[in-house]
Amino acid sequence: MKVRVAQICGFCMGVRRAMDLALDAAAKARPPVFTFGPLIHNPSALELLRSKGIEVLDHIPEKGEGTVIIRAHGIPPGEREALEKAGFQLIDGTCTRVVKVQMLAKHYSSLGHTCVLIGDRGHPEVKGIMGYAGENGVLVSSLEELKGLRLSGQYIILAQTTRDREEFEEWARMLLDRFPGGQVFNTVCDSTRKRQREVRRLCRSVDAVVVVGGRQSANTRRLAEIAAESGKTALAVETEEDLDLDELRSFGSVGVTAGASTPNWIINRVVSAIEQVPGRGEPLAGRLLYRLLRFLHETTAWTALAGGLLALSCGLLMGLTPQESWRAVAMASLYLFAMHTMNRIMDRESGAYNDPMRARFLVRHRKVFQTLSLAALFAALSIALQLGTVPFLALLALSLLGLAYSIRIVKQRALKDFPASKTIFTSLAWTVVTTVVPWSHTLESPSKWAMVGIPVLLLTLARSALMEILDIHGDRIVGRETLAVIMGEEGLMTLVTALLALLAVVAVAAPLFSAPVTLAAFAAPAAWGLFLLWSFRRQRLRQNLRMECMVELLFLVLFAATWALSLLARPSI
């Protein structure tokens, strides 16, 4: 099935912040930890919070203890005061855009203005805003209420942040025509407007639209309404289990969007499930290609192939022919297959969120892949032994470190639990197994390793960081302090940009300092990585099979560029 994912969907800024605060509170705040009312309108996310020990507080007791998280919708000031009086420690997760509406209502109400709020009656955000407006607040939730409204004196018009912008503007004009002199504050969240506009754009290029989100979510329901108004079949689901696969087969292409309270891991599951459905008129070749890529991805063969291409590129950079490098290529591929597979099997918790289909596949065939991993590791060590004692001992040490990565050995903590260890250990392992171990028996000086090893380290660091960006949600959920979690998604993307820019500079400048001209080949994967970052920032690529496969193509691009340059000038290091 051809699937188009809306460029803007899933957690908005306010919901993401509230979820991050809740996950941090689960580990650090004074227990017990509660959210005052459901944190967001998504059953899967709420179930996740319950699994972390965060319960929902649905009333304010006279006496309480622990921590209460105020949800992104906000609460009335009276309820905030009551929570504090009861003895709870508060963590304010109110969205900053909701706070703006609250403060406008509070300010103009204190001046004696009537505050007309256009919003959904009973919605928690509306309750909070009306609490700040007090006796001067008037709620309008339907055209009948709008037509029956009577105003006198000065007034302002506000909007619930998730309201439809076009509808709000129309209703505001109707009020101004009847009661001139009012002041309009268009407080519809820009994120809401962009999502709604994106759904309309998406409808022009697909046969149907799947809207992912909680059934109680107002903004999710509005997205489904907009899709239906556009003349497309709109299918609303909470998870992939709600999909009607038989109905999907009648469409040639499907768009996917999601409400602001929908977690990315749920969106990815839905997208993956739809992609596996044969679309109407879809050619057999396309289906076979997708199944092949899915198989290579789930079995870790795609990662192993990428490692082999990197080792082959290193051999060319060191002046060796592919025939002379085959042992190094096989050893690197087998080692990386073994390490990545075994660690993915052991790290099932984060895998269930980052790539649930691969996690389920590896769990289902766990014994087979455990056996294959051990066999691959034994074969890699055997090849290293053929190369010499030093390569064998180096790979043995690297293998023991890799096997210990997910095992708790230091104060009940595994190496993977140490901050930023995922990026550092992964990139070092890739660099050592493709540059140091294979050639330690042939090169006379460590400086010759460095000439190739430094750009390889920069490239593998960028590759590991890109993968961490894709896995940030699952790693944060399980409490892993990866570089992406520590720096944040935007911060890490800035770091990756700097790494790739530095790699490009090193690649271009290397031949100017008597280095082989083939080192300029690293400029090609640097450019490819920057393109992927650009696409990811603009939501043209998301955390799914396509993005991860395209990240591993860094090494195919390097090999192609190295091979082309080696035909022009054979390097001699």
Asked whether 164 and 225 are in contact (CB, 8 A), the reply is no
d(Cα 305, Cα 327) in Å, to the nearest integer? 14
Asked whether 311 and 559 are in contact (CB, 8 A), the reply is no
Q: At what angle do helices 301-317 and 545-552 cross, to 10 degrees?
A: 20
Asked whether 285 and 239 are in contact (CB, 8 A), the reply is no
Structure tokens, 152: 């006198």
Structure tokens, 351: 């895998």
Alpha helices (H) in 134-181, listed in sequence order: 143-147, 165-178
What are the φ/ψ torsions at residue 89 (nearest 5 degrees)?
Answer: -85, 130
Name 117's bridge partners: 139, 158
Structure tokens, 124: 């928690």
Answer positive or negative: Cα dihedral of 459, 405, 44, 87: negative
**Whole-number Cα distances in Å, 312 to 264, 328, 380, 444, 566:** 36, 7, 15, 20, 12
Burial of 224 (0-12, 13-18, 19+ CB in 10 A): buried
Q: At what angle do helices 389-404 and 366-387 cross, to 10 degrees?
A: 150
Structure tokens, 556: 């195919």
The string of DSSP letters for 27-91 reads HHSSSSEEEES-SSS-HHHHHHHHHTTEEEE-S--SS--SEEEEPTT---HHHHHHHHHHTPEEE
- Residue of 125, 240, 298, 548 with catalytic role: 125
Asked whether 47 and 81 are in contact (CB, 8 A), the reply is no
Which SS3 state, helix, strand or coil, does residue 254 take?
Answer: strand
d(Cα 252, Cα 2) in Å, to the nearest integer? 7
The alpha carbons of the chain give a radius of gyration, in whole angstroms, of 28
d(Cα 383, Cα 328) in Å, to the nearest integer? 8
Beta strands in 283-388 (DSSP E): none
Active site residue 125: yes
d(Cα 477, Cα 16) in Å, to the nearest integer? 12
d(Cα 59, Cα 36) in Å, to the nearest integer? 8
**What is the signed CA dihedral for 175, 181, 183, 188, rounded to 10 degrees?**
20
d(Cα 439, Cα 459) in Å, to the nearest integer? 19
d(Cα 279, Cα 203) in Å, to the nearest integer? 17
d(Cα 125, Cα 115) in Å, to the nearest integer? 15
Residues annotated as catalytic (active site), given as ranges: 125
